[in-house]
């Protein structure tokens, strides 16, 4: 974040830069119908571009398409900022990336990419659509979920997108880092509330100090953490587990490590507890044989 801030010629410290991007109107689309349409069209554009790159990092691709839609007005007030609606089991309906456009001041343009990659591809749509298309497995593997796995994958996907050539604009890369910072800060807030008895206001004050997120988002998110203990910690913990498994496989296989194969192993059995996923990765590593040569 410091490097990006400095490369943009900003003279103040990081806290001052956070304040700058919170209040600068150039980092939001207008609160108009045109502004909302622009947000949706830009999201569709960057997801279409990402779709064309998936074959470089994945062997197995989802058959179900992905579409981008606005959260309907009747449920905007109670709806999340953004979320993924799963494809139907028979694949007759697409997966949907819903964006809540009721508060445009929260939808910073520099976080558009990270949010889309998290909810769409290579994030939730990639993982969930592939799981639903599995054959010859119990239903719980197709339709079940484990938060650390599912949200860990989506956060991992935000970072993976950079490896796949995304975030060409420095501010979009800053948005990716801000999203990861947010998930890291939640480890502090969630455990602060539920093990150290932080008050609601203590949690709000902490997030205002260490993140660039708007106050309205911070308040709604803290209230979420209060009523769903542990859920918010799962994102970063799951991402760390996936990165550790990838590092282990890469280290042991050396030049034989294939990112496409690794991702197919991670996604190829549906959502799993990390103990079982670790076993699958270990079996895959062993199956490559000495020097990465597949065993018969």
Paired tokens of 122: 């290579």
Asked if residue 159 lies in contact with residue 259, where contact means CB atoms within 8 angstroms, the answer is no
Q: Look at the block and give the residue holding tokens 């991007």.
A: 21
Does one domain contain both 152 and 276? Answer: no
Confidence bin at 294 (pLDDT 50/70/90): low
Q: What is the mean pLDDT of the chain?
A: 94
Structural domain count of the chain: 2
pLDDT exceeds cutoff 50 at 296 = no
What contacts 242, CB < 8 A, 6 or more positions away?
Answer: 152, 153, 156, 266
Between 206 and 289, the more confident residue is 206
Could you read off the pLDDT of 86-121 as tens digits, one per residue?
998 877 899 999 999 999 999 999 999 999 999 999
pLDDT at site 239: 97
Does one domain contain both 122 and 190? Answer: yes
pLDDT exceeds cutoff 50 at 129 = yes
Mean pLDDT of 8-25: 94
Confidence bin at 292 (pLDDT 50/70/90): low
Could you read off the pLDDT of 192-236 as tens digits, one per residue?
999 999 999 999 999 999 999 989 889 999 999 999 999 999 999
Domain final position from 190, 216, 233: 233
Rounded CA-CA distance 37/295 in Å is 53
pLDDT exceeds cutoff 80 at 270 = yes
Give the β-pairing of 95-99 and 66-70: parallel
Does one domain contain both 62 and 141? Answer: yes
Neighbours of 276 (CB within 10 A): 12
Domain final position from 233, 267, 283: 233
Output the pTM of the full model: 0.94
Does one domain contain both 31 and 158? Answer: yes
pLDDT at site 92: 82
Does one domain contain both 161 and 271? Answer: no
pLDDT exceeds cutoff 50 at 122 = yes
Does one domain contain both 272 and 223? Answer: no
pLDDT at site 79: 80
Does one domain contain both 187 and 155? Answer: yes
pLDDT at site 291: 56
**Phi, psi angles (nearest 5°) of residue 53:** -100, -10
Does one domain contain both 118 and 136? Answer: yes
Does one domain contain both 155 and 45? Answer: yes
pLDDT at site 96: 98
Rounded CA-CA distance 38/70 in Å is 12
Q: Which domain holds residue 287?
A: 238-292
Rounded CA-CA distance 206/234 in Å is 19
pLDDT exceeds cutoff 60 at 293 = no
């Amino acid at each position: 974040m410091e490097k990006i801030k400095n490369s943009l010629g900003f003279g103040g410290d990081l806290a001052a830069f956070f304040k700058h991007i919170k209040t600068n109107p150039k980092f939001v689309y207008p609160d108009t119908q045109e502004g909302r349409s622009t947000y949706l069209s830009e999201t569709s554009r960057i997801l279409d571009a990402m779709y064309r790159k998936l074959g470089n990092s994945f062997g197995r691709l989802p058959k179900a398409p992905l579409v981008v839609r606005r959260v309907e007005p009747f449920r905007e007030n109670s709806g999340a900022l953004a979320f993924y609606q799963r494809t139907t089991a028979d694949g007759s309906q697409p997966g949907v990336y819903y964006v809540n456009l009721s508060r445009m001041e929260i939808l910073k343009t520099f976080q558009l990419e990270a949010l889309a990659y998290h909810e769409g591809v290579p994030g939730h749509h990639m993982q969930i659509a592939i799981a639903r298309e599995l054959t010859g497995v119990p239903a719980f593997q197709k339709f079940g979920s484990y938060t650390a796995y599912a949200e860990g994958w989506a956060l991992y996907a935000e970072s993976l997108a950079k490896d796949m050539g995304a975030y060409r604009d420095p501010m979009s890369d800053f948005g990716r880092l801000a999203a990861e910072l947010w998930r890291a800060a939640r480890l502090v807030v969630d455990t602060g509330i539920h093990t150290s008895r932080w008050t609601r206001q203590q949690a709000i004050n902490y997030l205002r100090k260490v993140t660039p997120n708007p106050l309205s988002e911070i308040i709604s998110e803290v209230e979420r953490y209060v009523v769903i203990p542990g859920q918010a910690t799962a994102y970063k913990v799951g991402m760390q587990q996936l990165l550790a498994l990838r590092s282990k496989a890469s280290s042991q296989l050396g030049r034989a490590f294939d990112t496409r194969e690794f991702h197919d192993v991670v996604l190829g059995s549906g959502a799993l507890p990390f103990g079982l996923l670790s076993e699958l990765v270990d079996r895959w590593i062993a199956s490559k044989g000495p020097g990465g040569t597949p065993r018969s």
